[in-house]
Structure 1
């Protein structure tokens, strides 16, 4: 079986689950459990756990959303965990009323590798990746492609396509609360509209700020 970084796996001979965080020599795979400890194990001694990667204890109570209120903004990449524990979890958080069709790819130079593809319902979150804080300099760049849709009437919106590279300096900032994620996280807004300044606006800016001659 072909495994990849971030896969949720279960040990065949022991009641242990964790995420793949490294590939070692001689066919060994590094699996990090919830304690943040990386366990080396032979690849034939683990099996992939399919389905939603959320833990049972992470299930949220139903959110009471006012009838008729359609929430259009609030799609985030969220990173949780403590640096002292070593393990960081990547979540896609959907605070909107849209249903999201999501593809996440690892970007290394000109090569792209699929990490995650799934549907995230409105007001839900999915775990998409796991890594170690100690290897932050090796974390890949991520390409997000997100289609927003809903069975409720809504304004037409374009597909989101966003590249993101997490840097160590980003994690100096304080964690924030999310409306649907049950713990504080470093949040990266994926549906933020980037302002296109344009050449004409740029010229106007410089002209308007040019010192006047006396």
Structure 2
């Protein structure tokens, strides 16, 4: 049982970590861009960013198949470059987790950047700071608490992703099988002991992540 327990746990953490890096990059970037920008269609763009938060994960998985599947132009391009389709690979699990976790990172980082007094940023510009220096030396440190909270929440969301993952990446042991998909298979096969171990592990991880978010925001 112990041998079967660890692979999905390690797989889940690896997928969530890589997904978390992408989510952090895109979430912080778009959060900063959208924090004070006003343009026509902003509501539609933000709605698209937040859509995975309310869509059923199976719908997200279906859309990923349509966009990146073997019959799509993007999917065919990826297969031509990588010599294999992206579906049912480790990277497919990362992509699914990234899409569903992105809204949490985006919301948190955008809220953090919106709270920054623009007079502070304008003063840095007057003092000669470039936009690069302004972002890394002023804006990012001031919004860091919100960004860290978003990173933790999005990591937890990526760790628990099931619907989009099982549709787009499948449930291949040692390759794309994560804790949620492993729990599903364990219950389906009647292995309740192993299912309880995975359930307990993900509850403990998620619990301590939420505690960390609480103390960071406090």
Q: Same fold by TM-score, threshold 0.5 exceeded? A: no
* TM-score with structure 2 setting the length: 0.25
Structure possessing the higher relative contact order (Cα contacts under 8 Å, 6 or more residues apart): 2
Structure with the bigger percentage of strand: 1
* TM-score with structure 1 setting the length: 0.25
